[in-house]
Amino acid sequence: MGVQTTERAWQLRAACRGPHAKLFFPPATLERREDRQARERRAKAICAECPVRGPCLDYALAIREPHGIWGGLNEQERRALVDARVV
């Protein structure tokens, strides 16, 4: 098993895998604010039950992931967390 595969083995246990994975990223077309908020609430509810939420968030913060829900946080929430850690 390679280093990269081992480092991301947590992804295989992620609750976001499967048919509902599309909830975690915005659609290709324009999304109304209410629709985005509802989609994010559903995604975050899945994250709340996920056994690898911590490693997921750590990964997203480490690579500065600019899109989607990772570790239960959206883009703005992750950016605020990074900004707070820098100060």
pLDDT tens, position by position, 31-87: 999 999 999 999 999 999 999 999 999 999 999 999 999 999 999 999 999 888 876
23 and 46 Cβ atoms separated by less than 8 Å: yes
8 pLDDT band (50/70/90 cuts)?
confident
pLDDT value, residue 70: 97
Give the pLDDT confidence score for residue 2 in this predicted structure. Answer: 45
Residue 7: what pLDDT?
Answer: 63
Q: Which residue has the tokens 């895998």?
A: 17
The helix (H) or strand (E) run that includes residue 44 is: helix 33-48
